[in-house]
Amino acid sequence: MKIINMLSSADKVKGQGVGSAYLEQVALVKELHDYNIEINSKSDGHINHYHTIDLKHYLRATFSKKPVHLGYVHFLPETISGSIKLPKPIRKIFDAYIVSFYKKMDYLVTVNPYFIDLLEAHGVDRNKVDYIPNFVSEEKFYAKSKEEIIKLKEAYGIYPEDFVVLGVGQVQTRKGVVDFIDIAKRNSDKTFIWAGGFSFGAITDGYSELKEMVENPPENVKFLGIIDRKDMNDIYNMSDLLFMPSYSELFPMAILESMSVGKPILLRDLDIYEVILEGYYLKGDCINSFSAIINQLSFDKKYYKEAVDMSRAGSIFYSRQHVLNSWKKLYNRLSKEETYEKKSVLVDY
């Protein structure tokens, strides 16, 4: 039986979408009975699947020649701008390391096809890059009853009749937290909650300003801090809308999780979303447009239902079996060591 060695440190820090994506992907591919899935084994598998860019993983890919080295692209230098603040010389070295890590891999998988062009611009051969989207379990993320939702709201000090706007992610400049608060101020009749914290601590970009906002939010804003993933289904259920005004992303797990619960999605109008989410979400491009959409959702039942239907359609498209089949095709091709060549591995999706 072929062995896939999953190599990752993504679940060591709470509140990161990379960690959620890793856990979901591993749980999903364990359903492939033709493969034995090992986690951070010291022995190489037929495929070493790297989920994080640790230095030890870089060295392993450099000196271990036997397995196929498959890298998961969760971010690029462009997407961490606004996430962490480092001195320019260190940041330059870190950016170069990210690109070097991806070039070290035999093959790469990205969660958004938009980033294949960006990888190529960094000098990565696009013929070794494939696209397989993220996935979430419908057993973990599902809609609860109205009675359960009322109790959840009460537990968080929210009135049952409140229209709740949810933001999810690390508290970072890139995530649009400042805009989130500004829009909340314009909608004082609604409750805004943010699930996530400072996973990177003081090196978070804009840390001082954001910390002040988190500690002294407007009356209608609640920062919940980092929430255990097992409790996030409750957070999605007690919200009426997932609003993520991020300035850059790949494919946030929060979007898929909220879709699975059946909540409308409002995102910034970014090119990266068009390829993977067109028709499944509402979009805005400024504080005024975001505020207008949120306000209409709060009183226009027909508009709200249409937004819910869009979200549910997205959840159906990114189904378990569809994504599992894509991983199966990719692993099957990479595991054929006897015919293994450095060439494109195409995944039908």
| Per-residue pLDDT tens over the stretch 109-126 | 998 898 899 999 999 999
**pLDDT tier for residue 170 given thresholds of 50, 70 and 90:** confident
Structure token digits, residue 10? 């993504």
Residue 341 confidence (pLDDT) above 70: no
Options 3.40.50.2000, 3.50.30.30, 2.120.10.30, 3.30.910.20; CATH of 2-135+319-339: 3.40.50.2000
Same-fold call for 2-135+319-339 versus 146-317: yes
pTM of the model: 0.82
pLDDT of residue 82: 59
Q: How far apart are CA 327 and CA 189, in angstroms?
A: 45
Residue 309 confidence (pLDDT) above 50: yes
Domain extents for the chain? 2-135+319-339, 146-317
C-alpha dihedral, 163 to 165 to 166 to 170, nearest 10° = -150
Residue 139 confidence (pLDDT) above 60: yes
23-27, 99-103, 163-167, 239-243: least confident range: 23-27
Contacts of 241 (CB under 8 A, 6+ apart): 163, 164, 165, 166, 263, 264, 265, 266, 294, 297, 307
Q: What is the mean pLDDT of the segment spanning 317-321?
A: 85
Between residues 196 and 348, the one the model is more confident about = 196
- Are 334 and 68 a contacting pair, CB within 8 Å? yes
CATH superfamily of 146-317: Glycogen Phosphorylase B; (3.40.50.2000)
- Are 194 and 222 a contacting pair, CB within 8 Å? yes
Per-residue pLDDT tens for 205-229? Answer: 778 888 898 999 999 999 999 999 8
Q: What is the mean pLDDT of the segment spanning 150-176?
A: 94
Structure token digits, residue 44? 């190489």
Per-residue pLDDT tens for 224-246? Answer: 999 998 999 999 999 999 999 99
Whole-number mean pLDDT of the chain? Answer: 89
Rg (alpha carbons) of the chain, rounded to whole number: 21
**pLDDT tier for residue 174 given thresholds of 50, 70 and 90:** confident
Give the helix/strand (H/E) hosting 23. helix 17-29
Between residues 60 and 347, the one the model is more confident about = 60
Structure token digits, residue 265? 């999605």
Beta strand pairing call for 129-131 and 68-73: unpaired
